[in-house]
Amino acid sequence: MTNLIETVLLDTCPSDLVQADRVHTSLYTDAKLFDEELDKIFYKTWIWVAHASEIPDNGSYKSTYIGKQPVIVVRDRKKDVHVLLNRCRHRGATVCEHKKGKTNSFVCPYHGWSYALDGSLRGVPHPESYADCLDKGDLPLVSLRVEQYNGMIFATFNDQIEPLVDFLGPARKWIDLFMKQGAGYPVKVSGEHRFRFPGNWKIQLENTTDAYHFPLVHKSFLSSVDEQTLELFDFVQGPGYVEDLGNGHSVMVMIPDLVDLEANLDLPIPERFEALAQELRNEGHEELEVRRIVRAVGGSGFNLNLFPNVACSMAFFRVLQPIAVDETEIHHAVITMDGGPAVANRYRLRLHEHFQGPMGFGTPDDSEAWERVQKGANAGKDLWIMLNRGLAGEKPSDDGLISDVSAETGMRAGYQQWKKMMAVPAAKQGE
């Protein structure tokens, strides 16, 4: 009883660490499990790498990570998107150190090998020393499989994996709903807040589908908003729900009225948006258009959590990146309407700054709670993380399982996928 962790880890596979209503604390604290997660999850499934608006033109790129491996997401001259390992095929140096930009090629700073936007090796300085022992065709930047859905770009190391649309499954219709916050304009990522917290990545994954913490952890945020917004965010006992969408994905609907931003355009404009609505009218927008923009500005009424690393969270993209078993990096990417009214986009930027980021009124409190989970998780040897909230009322739905808004159904969905992927022996994966 006193050393159950050791026993479990030595004698059984990771899948014994996940039960229907709880997971073992070692999922947050065991460095060996973390390394296994990189191999069996981050290097095996579809990982979100960019939104299409981040690389709008030919030659636009961003650099990011899949698990712990640096990659470049780039649009070539034919507008095709490539995800390339950020590593020169000569002696291994990164070929791109900028977070984003526009280029004609990637040139390694060490010996000057240069690569085209599709990763092919173009030039090698002073090739004479190689004589005929270098075939440039053999040494392109390593290119990963890439697929897109509605502007969301995913890549994978796994050539055998199912197509992205099948992996997303019923989550696709929620992505479509989420993109309605462009109010008819294309959705555009316009910057992001990046921060780290000393805790395991799954603590963050859980949080995106955790309505239960909101009134407590975000009390200071709720104290800073007007009466109507306060009512809107009082959703823990409301009619919302959490639904398991399969493959580890889930949706938490906090505000059912804001699931479809193009419906109910005849509802009264909330008080806090009246000034914005008037400015839009003054700019000459028709009333229906004003209502559509104003309704979209506040964001969607749900968080879509896509396993393992991205969420469409009310009004922004949440991206997580595992750094170590007890260190995680988070990006909160703000969304604006590409070509939309500047006054409405400013409103979205200020809303994002109000809650998100290191100086927001929300993120630092989340971060503090997660840090405390990691710290507390070091206590005890045979303790489990309880995930049984909302089990009593959980029912099958068209897309999976459904329970009340503060149910831990979405977390259970994520951990069942974790279990499924971690249970596969390493040798079997990718066959």
Partner 1 sequence: MLNLQLLNQVSAFIWQEADMLDHSEFNEWLELWTSTATYIIPIDPLETDFENTLNYAYDDHHMRQLRVKRLTSGESISTAPRARTVRSLSRFRVLKDEGDVVTVRCAQNLREFRKDVLKHYTADITFDLVRSGDSFKIQRKLIQLINSTDTLAGIGYIL
Name the site residues for partner 1 (rule: CB under 8 A): 99, 190-197, 217, 219-220, 223-224, 329, 334, 342, 345-346, 349-350, 352-354, 357-359, 361, 363-365, 367-369
Question: 233 Cβ partners below 8 Å, 6+ apart?
Answer: 214, 218, 222, 225, 254
State in angstroms the smallest separation of the CB of 215 from partner 1: 11
State in angstroms the smallest separation of the CB of 353 from partner 1: 6
| Closer of 86 and 367 to partner 1 (Cβ) | 367
CA distance 197 to 145: 30
State in angstroms the smallest separation of the CB of 233 from partner 1: 14
| Closer of 91 and 196 to partner 1 (Cβ) | 196
| Closer of 118 and 371 to partner 1 (Cβ) | 371
| Closer of 33 and 49 to partner 1 (Cβ) | 49
| Closer of 139 and 222 to partner 1 (Cβ) | 222
State in angstroms the smallest separation of the CB of 84 from partner 1: 23
State in angstroms the smallest separation of the CB of 334 from partner 1: 5
Residue 252 sits at the vertex; the CA angle it makes with 183 and 237, to the nearest 5 degrees, is: 110
List the structure tokens of 207: 């949080």
Say which amino acid occupies 93.
A
Contact 249, 169 (CB under 8 A): yes
State in angstroms the smallest separation of the CB of 277 from partner 1: 19
| Closer of 357 and 390 to partner 1 (Cβ) | 357
CA distance 206 to 217: 15
Question: 393 Cβ partners below 8 Å, 6+ apart?
Answer: 403, 404, 407
| Closer of 46 and 197 to partner 1 (Cβ) | 197
What are the backbone dihedrals phi and psi of residue 429, each rounded to the nearest 5 degrees, phi first?
-65, 140
State in angstroms the smallest separation of the CB of 352 from partner 1: 6
Long-range pairs for 19-25 at CB < 8 Å and ≥24 separation? 19/384, 20/391, 20/412, 21/386, 21/387, 21/388, 21/391, 21/412, 22/384, 22/385, 22/386, 22/387, 22/388, 23/384, 23/385, 23/387, 23/415, 24/384, 24/385, 25/377, 25/380, 25/383, 25/384, 25/385
Beta bridge partners of 336: 188
